[in-house]
Structure 1
Amino acid sequence: MSNVFKETGLRWLWLALIMLIVDQASKQLVVATMDYRQSIAVMPLFNLTYVHNPGAAFSFLADQGGWQRWFFTAIAAVMSILLIFWMSKTPKHQKMIAIAFALILSGALGNLIDRVMYGYVIDFLDFYIGNRHWPAFNIADSAIFVGAALMIIDAFKNDDKSKSESKTQSQE
């Protein structure tokens, strides 16, 4: 069993656990020290603003009657299981995709915990320009974004490798 963790992408589960802890700790710090909808100016273009998001990314479906809580909970649970499965099938030398899976897993679990415990996701990172604010987000959302970006980069890197390998084989 330990060989599975050493020889596959599961060796990056520690990263998912650390990011999950950072996400949950940051949310609990916000809840413990801020009032709901309170905003603290940190620097130009960035505030800490405590809000609840019953929807998905960018408050998608936030204004629905509550069914979305269980819908997004189910999606996060299924995706978490799939991500762990994919990590178990990823060879250890494919670091970037395994790290991407770990980051997305941590984000999915972080927001899943919020939905199950509260019925909404706790958001607090508020970037803005002038009076226009980007929808608030959290560490879990950031981990999902970075993980998705790494997946895209990995796809292009692997595409370049396969093109150069097929080019080398055709020249032989």
Structure 2
Amino acid sequence: MNKIFSKKILSVLSILTVLVLADQWTKHLAVKHLKNSAPINHLDGMFQLLYAENPGAFLGMGGDMSPATRFVVFGLFVAIGLAVMFWSIMKNKVSQTETIAYSFILAGGIGNVIDRLTHLNGHVIDFMFIDLKFAPLARTGVFNVADMAIVVGVLMLLFQSRKVSQKD
């Protein structure tokens, strides 16, 4: 195994381990402390901790699918897609920034797939909500650490692609 590949796999696996563990631990804490409880408000309600089970994908999309269809689409297909993404990161030449960004996306996907495959109802546990009352459009759906990792990874890729296009 060459040195560059070893460094890349160590980097990817380190990011995956830290983010997936953080995601699963915070979801465990949400179940333990937030389930069947009133939301906990911070910053005058702009940030809330509340328990939610999301049957769908981002912002609840696909939540109206049958449980079997959700399992196939959001569980198995996403797991296969994540495996292909991991293989692609390892196989192809990508920058260090892209490797980190894809690792964040991969970790977020893994965290949510773990929920779908380990919970009988196939839902993902969400527990954070932001409502910046002074900015009417600055309101999120309920989300989790995995979702944050995916968003950070996508933003990194967008900034990276913008940086590359400015050089051209």
Extract structure 1 runs of 4+ deviating beyond 4 A: 129-133
Aligned-pair Cα RMSD in Å: 2.2
Counterparts in 2 of 1:1-172, with a 5 A limit? Answer: 1=1, 3=3, 4-6=5-7, 8=8, 11-36=11-36, 38-44=38-44, 45-66=46-67, 67-91=69-93, 94-118=95-119, 119-130=122-133, 134-161=140-167, 163=168
Percent identity over the alignment?
Answer: 29
Q: Which digits, 9 at most, give the CA deviation of each residue in 1:52-96, with x for residues without a partner? A: 00100000111222121321112321221122112213447x111
CA contact (8 A) 2:34 2:49 kept: no
Instruction: Specify every segment of 5 or more residues in structure 2 that has no aligned partner in the other structure, as ranges.
Output: none
8 Å Cα contact 1:124-1:138 kept in structure 2: yes
Partner amino acid, structure 2, of 1:158: V
CA displacement 1:120-163 (0-9 Å, x = unmatched)? 000001112459952100000000011011111111222233x2
CA 1:2 to 1:50, structure 2 compared with 1: closer, same or farther past 3 Å? farther
Name which one, 1 or 2, has greater alpha-carbon Rg.
Answer: 1
User: Does structure 2 retain, via aligned residues, the 8 Å contact 1:39–1:49?
Assistant: yes
Aligned counterpart, 1:167: none
Cα contact 1:90–1:98 (8 A) shared by 2: no
- Report the number of matched residues: 160
Distance change >3 Å, CA 38–CA 117, structure 1 → 2:
farther
TM-score by length of structure 1 reads 0.83
Superposition TM-score, scaled by structure 2 size: 0.85
* SS of aligned partner of 2:16: helix
Matches of 1:42 and 1:2 in 2, distance apart? 49
Give the aligned residue type for 1:75. F
